[in-house]
């Protein structure tokens, strides 16, 4: 793992959807178990964490389909000429006088149940992903970036799709319970129904594109540490080891010297294999 300086920067590409089976369960379990470590690292200024959420735009050929309509937000209305059937931008006041309308579906997510007639829609997932991005931004501006971990965990516990509580009202209750400004979160989110780009989600789409050695982010979950995609198991101890490997030797915080990580080194109890530089007296017994 690269360790360019005394601070580790890492990001988790995740999803607010909890109806995607084992992958969603894995992400929820990781947030619960890693929250304590993440908050210690961030409170001490040792690490900088950023959550991310994958979105995509609907291809032009499918913009009139029910799938795009239910999976996407920030629809831009474009008029289809009655004869050429080509889309061209027009003001909304002209739409009623024309025969058809196609939509520029800017930010999309899959249907949680993969059933367009039942349950939640992909566009509801996009809105909640946007809210959680804004929760992190507002928490960061207030000097409490680690509050995202509390929100993400509380939301998964209190606002589950399985219990039919995945909603705007439930999310806003969680925001309020953490003492974050709901007004600022809403201002950050903007209007999901607007015929306009959303700055937060557009930035997410830009960040999905690979840079340097990182590569594109195409699957969930994806953990990136010091601009390198992590390929190990999304599990508390394994991730802590990887994050701690991102510190220069001798600059690791105390959490990296615990039984989970020892001075940039680790030992597999089953095989008694050790890796890294041994520091006498630091191994847990």
- What angle is formed at CA 123 by the lines to CA 117 and CA 124, rounded to 5 degrees? 90
Which of the four pLDDT bands, split at 50, 70 and 90, describes residue 262?
very low
What is the radius of gyration, based on Cα positions, of the chain?
22
Chain position carrying tokens 């020892």: 262
Would you call 36 helix, strand, or coil by DSSP? helix
Which two tokens mark 153? 């965990």
Is domain 8-83+101-275 given the CATH code 3.40.30.10 in the classification?
A: yes
164 exposed, middle or buried (CB, 10 Å; 0-12, 13-18, 19+)?
A: exposed
- Of 16, 253, 248, which Cα lies nearest the Cα of 120? 16
Region of poorest pLDDT, from 86-90, 111-115, 154-158, 245-249: 86-90
pLDDT tens string 126-137? 999 999 999 999
How confident is the model over 275-282, as a mean pLDDT?
A: 34
Q: Is 71 left (phi over 0), alpha (psi -120 to 50) or beta?
A: alpha
Per-residue pLDDT for 234 more than 90? yes
Mean pLDDT, residues 106-132: 88
Asked if residue 116 lies in contact with residue 70, where contact means CB atoms within 8 angstroms, the answer is: yes
Q: Where are the alpha helices (DSSP H) in 44-167?
A: 66-71, 122-141, 147-158
The DSSP bridge partners found for residue 275 are 266
Q: Tell me phi and psi for residue 56, to 5 degrees.
A: -145, 165
Q: What is the pLDDT of residues 222-233, one digit of tens each?
A: 999 999 999 999
Q: Positive or negative, the Cα torsion across 24, 185, 138, 73?
A: positive
Q: Which among 74-78, 140-144, 267-271 has the top mean pLDDT?
A: 140-144
Give the pLDDT confidence score for residue 260 in this predicted structure. 53
Q: 115 or 124, which is more confident?
A: 124
Q: What angle in degrees, to the nearest 10, is found between the helix axes of 182-189 and 122-141?
A: 120
Separation CA 56–CA 201 (nearest Å): 9
Which pLDDT band holds residue 172 (cuts at 50, 70, 90)? very high
Taking 60 as the threshold, does the pLDDT of residue 115 lie above it?
yes
The average confidence (pLDDT) of the chain is: 80
What CA–CA distance (Å, rounded) separates 150 from 50? 14
Give residue 257's pLDDT.
Answer: 83
The domains of the chain are located at 8-83+101-275
- pLDDT, one tens digit per residue, over 3-44 is 677 799 999 999 999 988 888 999 999 999 999 999 999 999
Rounded CA-CA distance 90/104 in Å is: 13
With a cut of 80, say whether residue 154 has pLDDT above it.
yes
**Taking the CA of residue 52 as centre, how many other CA atoms within 13 Å lie in the half-sphere pointing to its CB?**
24
Which of 256, 254, 221 minimizes the C-alpha distance to 242?
A: 256
Q: Contact at 8 Å (CB) between 56 and 68? A: no
Indicate if the pLDDT at residue 281 is higher than 70: no
């Amino acid at each position: 793992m690269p360790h360019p300086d005394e601070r580790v920067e890492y990001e988790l590409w995740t999803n607010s959807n909890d109806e995607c089976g084992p992958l969603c369960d894995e992400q929820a379990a990781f947030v619960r178990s890693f929250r304590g470590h993440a908050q210690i690292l961030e409170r001490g200024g040792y690490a900088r964490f950023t959550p991310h959420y994958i979105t995509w735009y609907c291809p032009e050929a499918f913009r009139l389909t029910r799938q795009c309509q239910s999976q996407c937000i920030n629809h831009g209305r474009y008029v289809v000429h009655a004869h050429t059937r080509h889309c061209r931008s027009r003001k909304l006041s002209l739409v009623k006088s024309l025969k058809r309308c196609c939509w520029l579906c800017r930010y999309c997510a899959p249907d949680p149940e993969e059933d367009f007639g039942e349950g939640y829609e992909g566009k509801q997932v996009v809105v909640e992903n946007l809210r959680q991005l804004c929760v992190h931004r507002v928490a960061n501006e207030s000097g409490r970036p680690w509050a995202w971990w509390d929100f993400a965990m509380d939301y998964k516990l209190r606002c589950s799709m399985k219990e039919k509580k995945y909603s705007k009202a439930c999310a806003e209750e969680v925001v309020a319970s953490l003492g974050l400004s709901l007004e600022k979160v809403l201002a950050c989110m903007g209007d999901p129904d607007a015929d306009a780009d959303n700055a937060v989600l557009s930035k997410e789409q830009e960040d999905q594109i690979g840079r340097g050695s990182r590569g594109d982010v195409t699957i969930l979950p994806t953990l990136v540490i010091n601009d390198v995609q992590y390929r190990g198991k999304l599990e508390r101890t394994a991730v802590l080891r990887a994050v701690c490997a991102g510190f220069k030797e001798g600059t690791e915080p105390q959490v990296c010297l615990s039984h989970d990580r020892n001075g940039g080194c680790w030992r597999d109890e089953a095989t008694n294999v050790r890796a890294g530089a041994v520091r006498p007296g630091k191994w847990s017994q």
